[in-house]
Amino acid sequence: MNNYDVVVVGGGMIGAATAIGLAKQGLRVAVIEGFSPEAFHQSQAMDIRVSAISQASADLLEELGAWQSIAAMRICSYKRLETWEHSECRTRFNAESLDLPRLGYIIENRLIQLGLWAQFDTYDNLTLLCPEKLDTIEFGKTNIVKLQSGLQVSAQWVVGADGANSKVRQQAGIGITAWDYRQHCMLINVATTLPQQDITWQQFLPSGPRSFLPLCSLMSEGKEVGQGSLVWYDSPSRIQQLSAMSPEKLRDEVLAHFPSELGDIKVLNAGSFPLTRRHAQSYSKNNCILVGDSAHTINPLAGQGVNLGFKDVAALLDISKEKGELSQSVTRRYEVMRRGDNLLMQSGMDFFYKAFSNDIGPLKFVRNAALKLAENSGPIKAQVLKYALGL
């Protein structure tokens, strides 16, 4: 049996970051992951799954040594953000207002994972077990982690970074508070007739928000063409209907239902998923620690899910570094630091979801007035932006 200090179950963005951070602190770490990310080639089409990475998350990735590799592939920075329901009542955010070069980056999830995985070979005390999948955990003073291949490894601590349906969370006996939203989300990668943009925007509608995220431009027939990721929130039946359409028909629907800011587009790729909220009732039990989506999922309308996960990683690493070990006191302090912040963000997104998902006249007036007021709120607006950026 192979013995480690920590076994991280899940080698995605959050799990890989956790593993590297703990290895940097001298712990013997194993990462269990079922699939290797596809290697990057410049000619590849953009992936559907992208994340809006805050500056705080980028700083963590740089600290872990992964940022240079990620930036060498492809990233798209943005400087401005706008949100509105009625076009005359907009809230605008700009990097210049905080003397920042940018608000953040739009990056494909796979490329973040690849950048982190490129760091694995840097550490003799970090072992990647892939392809492997968790079977069961036998809990004790030392946890025995049994894999589906028949391999067994032991560790004092198991980190659950295996996503919203975490087997680590389930086997550790940690319950969740959860519900499904009455919406699904469709992601649509498009080529735009407008040039490369430095803005992300979101319009609220009773059926659900519609958003634009800028992506890296592509070369077509010797000409640079802008790209974007469209996010369409709607009822499950409507998203199912859209998902069955041809690219040409989907383009017609997008042009009919997205704001004029988008301009003309060509559909390149599309996919969809349901929206669910989950929050673990505890972040640790039986010497298991939960990070990222294993601990909490959030309505993605503000794009904060992965940034909350990286905040989890940063907090856990800071506390374990200060204490010089992983221990029960570390996990207790980690939960105190992160639960409130995660709950605040979940509740905030739920508030926006419920406040805007109706067509009640007086409520429409109030929420548009609130957006107009927010536009001119000065220091309060700047503070909200700093919080969203993790500053």
**Same domain assignment for residues 34 and 123:** yes
Residues 284 and 200: beta-carbon distance below 8 Å: no
**Are residue 148 and residue 288 in the same domain, yes or no?**
yes
- Residues 257 and 117 placed together within one structural domain of the fold: no
CATH code (residue 52): 3.50.50.60
Residue 88's pLDDT is 75
What is the per-residue pLDDT across 134-193, written as a single tens digit (0 to 9) for each? 999 999 989 999 999 999 999 999 999 999 999 999 999 999 998 887 889 999 999 999
Calculate mean pLDDT across residues 369-377. 56
115 with 264, same domain: the answer is no
What's residue 170's pLDDT? 97
Specify the pLDDT at position 117.
98
User: With the CA atoms of 236, 239, 241 and 243 taken in that order, what torsion angle do they form, in degrees rounded to the nearest 10?
Assistant: -130
Residues 203, 88: contact at Cβ < 8 Å?
no
User: Are residue 186 and residue 258 in the same domain, yes or no?
Assistant: yes
On whether residue 125 sits in a domain, the answer given is yes
| Residue 229 domain boundaries | 182-275
Angle between helices 328-356 and 305-323 (to 10 degrees): 160
Is there a domain that residue 15 lies in? yes
User: What local confidence, expressed as pLDDT, does residue 333 receive?
Assistant: 97
pLDDT of residue 345: 85
Same domain, 294 and 154: yes
Is residue 235 one of the residues assigned to a domain?
yes
User: Residues 10, 21: one domain?
Assistant: yes
Whether the pLDDT of residue 358 is over 70: the answer is: no
Could you tell me which of 150, 178, 129 has the C-alpha nearest to residue 346? 178
198: in domain? yes
Is 91 a domain residue? no
Q: What is the pLDDT of residues 276-317, one digit of tens each?
A: 889 999 999 999 999 999 999 987 765 678 999 999 999 999
| Residue 200 belongs to domain with CATH number | 3.30.9.10
Contacts 24+ apart (CB under 8 A), 329-337: 331/283, 331/284, 331/289, 332/284, 334/283, 334/284, 334/289, 335/282, 335/283, 335/284
Region of poorest pLDDT, from 1-10, 56-65, 80-89, 107-116 = 80-89
Same domain, residue pair 28 and 74: yes
Say if residue 311 is in the same domain as residue 163: yes
Rounded distance between C-alpha atoms, residue 136 and residue 154, angstroms: 12
Return the bridge partners of 258, or none: none
- Asked whether residue 32 falls in the same domain as residue 130, the answer is yes
Residue 372: the pLDDT is 52
Domain count, the chain: 2
- Do 351 and 297 belong together in one domain? yes
- Asked whether the beta carbons of 177 and 279 are under 8 A apart, the reply is yes
Asked if the structure places residue 326 within a domain, the reply is yes
Is the whole-model pTM more than 0.85? Answer: yes
Query: What is the distance between the alpha carbons of residues 112 and 57, in angstroms, rounded to a whole number?
Result: 11
Residues 273 and 184: beta-carbon distance below 8 Å: yes
Single residue among 275, 294, 320 that ends a domain in this structure: 275
pLDDT at 353: 66
89 lies in some domain: no
Domain check: are 191 and 334 in the same one?
A: no
Give residue 364's pLDDT band: very low, low, confident or very high (50, 70, 90): low
Does 63 reside within a domain? yes
Query: Residue 308: its pLDDT value, please?
Result: 94
Last residue of a domain, one of 275, 305, 335: 275
Q: Taking residues 330-334, what's their average pLDDT? A: 97
Q: Residue 210's CB: how many other CB atoms inside 10 A?
A: 21
Average of per-residue pLDDT across 362-367: 51
Tell me, what's the pLDDT at 157? 98
Domain end among 275, 296, 311: 275
**Mean per-residue pLDDT of the chain:** 89
Model confidence at 223, in pLDDT bands (50, 70, 90)?
A: confident
**How many residues are there in the chain?**
391
- Res 162: pLDDT: 97
* pLDDT band of 204, cuts 50, 70, 90: confident
